[in-house]
Amino acid sequence: MKITVFGGSPKGETSVTMQYVQYLKKRFPQHEFIILQAAQPIQKLEKNEEAFGEMIHHVRSSDGVLWAFPLYVFLVCAQYKRFIELIHERGAQDAFRGKYAASLSTSIHFFDHTAHHYIRAVSEDLGMRYAGSHSAGMQDLLKNEGQEKLILFAQSFFSSIERRLKIPRHYRPLNWTPLDYTPQYSERPRLSTDRKIVVVTDSVDGNIGKMIKKFVNRFKTAPELIDLGRLDMKGGCLGCLRCGYKNECVYTGKDEYIEMYKMKLKTADVLLYAGTVRDRYLSSRWKMFFDRAFFNTHQRSLEKKQFGFLISGPLSQAADLKEILSAFVEWQGSNLVDFVGDENTTSEQLDGEIEGLAERLTHCSELGYVSPVSFLGVGGMKIFRDDMRGGLKVVFRADHRTYRKTGVYDFPQKKIFSNLFSEILYILMSIPWMRKGMMRRMKEYMIMPYRRVLAD
């Protein structure tokens, strides 16, 4: 059978992901693998419709499509995202309809699930039959177990195609009616604050533009607006890892992004990100914005800030997008105040929610409140900590230095008294009569430390 592989790395054939694809090609010589790079040549594909059309032609004659990509900031890279947008912009959806699809990624497993969920949703929106995913660790292919799992994944995918199996759809089609938003501006006093507020958007048109204007109008001193559509960004993250040594990006001095990030975003107290849902995420321009921030590598660069999101579109039907943005804020060590969107609402209600968000962002900033992190922030940071302590520190020396300095390397635990006390209790719990007595009073023991706090 014929399998079209869409490579999703800015590094093209030299990416780690492509080595996994080449391994499959070697192990399954009976199948024809057409490997097409969809991310690296994205600027050419945007300008050259003929080159794009040739790629789509291969899809039409294929039995299946394998999306193969590395993880880039919770998702696929911006260049790959842009390729997916081109499929819709150029009306090529019919080439994918009815085809079987699967996804293969390489990463350190930091939010790899959201990337695969995104590709599944995109595939199903194209009318494809999504037959599974394989999320490989960066070095899995170097181990026998990793090779065996990859082979079994491919066999399962090929079997689904050969047997023409029916596969359930997990993501329903996006269904919503855009609001004809007409904001009203009252004469009520505007908010006065000394907080530095920055609004970032990829467009000032349509509903999102009106929502931004409503937000900005709430303040006596207008927040600064950064329009990604006008910001000079020469391209997306190249995955070259030059930033790993001391956070110096290959784009330094070549466009406006890094200076904007350092001088405006890092110095802000409040950040409002505003965008429109496009396929199952925001725009590829927004994705480029997030990817390019990787010059900070795995370090928090927007810590202790207040975040709000204005989203135009079916946000309630884009749970993965909401999880990604929430996790981004938590991992940064900042406070997510809320999302406000124009779905299932009225102009009057939306006006009130935007004004409320403005006041809440300001108040939380003045209080200095940052909510405790959930699993999204804790789990993600532990992945970075463990992998950095291992082999990643060789390349990401800047991360390693920062992690040592800031206490991210919080193991082994150096709490001598606490560790000794735990060891004693562990031994005592092995004595039957002692264990029985302790278990009988366990609920009381659990709240005992808190009584001292409540007694103060």
Q: How many angstroms separate the CA atoms of 73 and 392, rounded? A: 16
Specify the pLDDT at position 391: 86
Across the chain, which has 456 residues, the per-10-residue mean pLDDT values are 98 97 98 98 97 98 98 98 99 98 98 98 98 97 98 98 98 95 91 96 97 97 97 97 95 97 98 98 98 97 98 96 98 98 97 98 98 95 92 93 92 77 86 87 88 87
Specify the pLDDT at position 188: 85
Q: How many angstroms separate the CA atoms of 303 and 305, rounded? A: 6
Specify the pLDDT at position 429: 86
HEC-encoded secondary structure of the chain = CEEEEEECCCCHHHCHHHHHHHHHHHHCCCCEEEEEECCCCHHHHHHCHHHHHHHHHHHHCCCEEEEEEECECCECCHHHHHHHHHHHHCCCHHHCCCCEEEEEEEECCCCHHHHHHHHHHHHHHCCCEEEEEEEEECCHHHCHHHHHHHHHHHHHHHHHHHCCCCCCCCCCCCCCCCCCCCCCCCCCCCECCCCCEEEEECCCCHHHHHHHHHHHHCECCCCEEEECCCCCCCCCCCCCCHHHCCCCCCCCCCCCHHHHHHHHHCCCCEEEEEEECECCECCHHHHHHHHHHHHHCCCCCCCCCEEEEEEECCHHHCHHHHHHHHHHHHHHCCEEEEEEECCCCCHHHHHHHHHHHHHHHHHHHHHCCCCCCCHHHHHHHHHHHHHHHCCHHHCCHHHHHHHHHHCCCCCCCCCHHHHHHHHHHHHHCCCHHHHHHHHHCHHHHHHHHHHHHHHC
Report pTM. 0.94
Specify the pLDDT at position 413: 67
